[in-house]
Amino acid sequence: MQKKFEKLLDFVRFMHEFREIVRYEGSKLGKKVETDSEHSYQVAMVAWFLIDENNLKLNKELCLMYSLTHDLVEVYAGDTFAFDKRRLLSQHEREKGALIKIKKRFPYFNNLIKTIEKYEKKEDGESKFVYAIDKIISPLQIYIEEGKLWREKKVSFLDSFENKDRKIAVSSDVYKYWQELLKEFRKNKKMFYN
């Protein structure tokens, strides 16, 4: 039993490490900056909401698993701001190396590894759905916050649109919400356009 307990302790430590990763595109409502664990929880809740709201024929459990694990590699790779060209160049390699570290640390948690690998491949509807939600969350928060993060980071609406549109388009179920959000941004140009 001692060995199982030590494994549990190490996994809880890993979750503590995960919750310390600050997101570059995180919400700044109030005074707190968003962490990866908060973001992943939000992605999971939005996935659940959209599946139920739209009666989607997706595997809800798999969507929740993808949501909760989609950024775990950032424990070792760190978060990458979508507009940091230098870090974007190394993102794939950093995340690949991070997955190797996770495999070495948790060789007995094979389902976790398989879930991360399946998500990264984006071959099923569930992974594409969660990926699109991950990409729309930041613009939704920016809309709620009236463009605050874009102004702080000196990102234009056009930059964000070009960065997000094709990524969100991988899921038609999420893309329709993206189209609605774009209409709202355009209605409030003064607030959001830099």
- pLDDT tens column, 86-116: 776 777 899 999 999 999 999 999 999 999 9
For residue 17, count other CB atoms closer than 10 A to its CB.
Answer: 15
Stated pTM of the model: 0.90
Domain count, the chain: 1
| Model confidence band, residue 39 (pLDDT cutoffs 50, 70, 90) | very high
pLDDT tens, 140-178? Answer: 988 888 877 777 777 777 777 888 999 999 999 999 999
- Residues linked to residue 22 through DSSP beta bridges, in sequence order: 35
SS (H, E, C) the chain: CHHHHHHHHHHHHHHHHHHCCECCCCCCCCCCCCEHHHHHHHHHHHHHHHHHHCCCCCCHHHHHHHHHHCCCCHHHHCCCCCCCHHHHHHHHHHHHHHHHHHHHHCCCCHHHHHHHHHHHHCCCHHHHHHHHHHHHHHHHHHHHCCCHHHHHHCCCHHHHHHHHHHHHCCCHHHHHHHHHHHHHHHHCHHHHCC
Residues in the chain: 194
Return the pLDDT at 69. 97
When mean pLDDT is compared over 23-37, 47-61, 85-99, the highest value belongs to 47-61
pLDDT at 56: 98
Domain residue limits at 149: 2-192
CATH code, domain with 143: 1.10.3210.10
The residues pairing with 35 across neighbouring beta strands, listed in sequence order, are 22
Non-local CB neighbours of 118 within 8 Å, separated by 6+ positions: 66, 124, 127
